[in-house]
Amino acid sequence: MEAISKLGKEQFVWLIELGESFKNFVLAIYCILRGDFSKKEFIEQASKFGFDTLPVVAVVTFFIGLALTLQISRQLMGIGNTSSLGTSVGISIVREIGPVVAGVMIAARVGGAMAAEIATMNVTEQIDALKMMKQDPIKFLVAPRLLASMIMTPLLTVFAIYIGSFGGLIIAIIYASLDPYMFFDAFRTVVGNKDIIMALFKAFVNGSIVATLSCTYGLGTTGGAEGVGQTTTKAVVGAMLGIFLINFLITHSVYSVGKVLDPAFVK
């Protein structure tokens, strides 16, 4: 009977963790708006989110741009409509692939390391030491990481869009024998300010998800080295699931509202 009761409770642990994450997010935003956070920690975390993640994002988005354009070009060549290659690639990379890939790479590269770092501090009682020195962990640990993530993730997303588009251009020239001016002209006709704004908004939300979940899981870690490993896995998996879910919800909401207000929005 006790085992059944324990199993029932474990099914709803994620609700408690979600509530704790939301609380930490609100408190961290409050600290950021007041300017009450560690500036030194913010600079260090911005470097980790930005420069340390840049090579990974560049390589992944470049090859995704190559593979995506190759697949699309094969279909368009079959119907003799390669002039639309830039249009298809532009919609895919700017609206979906750029924000999602950048968010996933940050979750894998920085989110896991962030969760492991805070979890290690927690199990070695460094968090308790901060509290004894009257240092709020939200101000010292969570707020700088959240701000760094919210700033650097949109910048990495813009970089990912450019690199992915460049990979698509290479395939368009070599494989589809398409003039680069024709490729970018089709690219510009379909990608507008609304697409860039939507991509940056998705990136902003993705960065918030990665930092908030990683810090929350880290602060709640127990169980020594095994607990640190479990926290790292939970942080990466949870952040990726959150990114995919929120990306779908944002896309669905934007297109639903845009279709009502302006039917041309979805084109």
DSSP 95-145: IIIHHHHHHHHHIIIIIHHHHHHHHHHHHTTHHHHHHHTT--HIIIIIHHH
Q: Which of 73, 133, 117, 94 is nearest to 235 (CA)?
A: 117
**pLDDT mean over 115-126:** 85
Within-domain flag for 40: no
- How high is the pLDDT of residue 52? 79
Q: What is the pTM of this model?
A: 0.84
Within-domain flag for 161: yes
- How high is the pLDDT of residue 150? 92
Which comes out higher in pLDDT, residue 84 or 253? Answer: 253
Give the least confident one: 56-60, 72-76, 257-261: 257-261
Within-domain flag for 133: yes
pLDDT tens per residue, range 26-53: 999 998 998 888 888 888 888 888 777 8
Which comes out higher in pLDDT, residue 203 or 188? Answer: 203
Could you tell me the residue range of the domain that residue 63 belongs to? 51-75+84-257
Give me the number of domains the chain comprises.
Answer: 1
Within-domain flag for 24: no
Within-domain flag for 18: no
- 3-state secondary structure (DSSP) of residue 191: coil
- How high is the pLDDT of residue 259? 57
Contacts of 125 (CB under 8 A, 6+ apart): none
Within-domain flag for 187: yes
Within-domain flag for 89: yes
56 contacts 109 by C-beta, under 8 angstroms: yes
Within-domain flag for 146: yes
- How high is the pLDDT of residue 250? 87
C-alpha 56/C-alpha 60 separation (Å) is 6
Residue 4 pLDDT > 50: no
**pLDDT mean over 124-142:** 82
Give the least confident one: 3-12, 112-121, 218-227, 246-255: 3-12
- How high is the pLDDT of residue 81? 66
C-alpha 22/C-alpha 100 separation (Å) is 22
49 contacts 206 by C-beta, under 8 angstroms: no
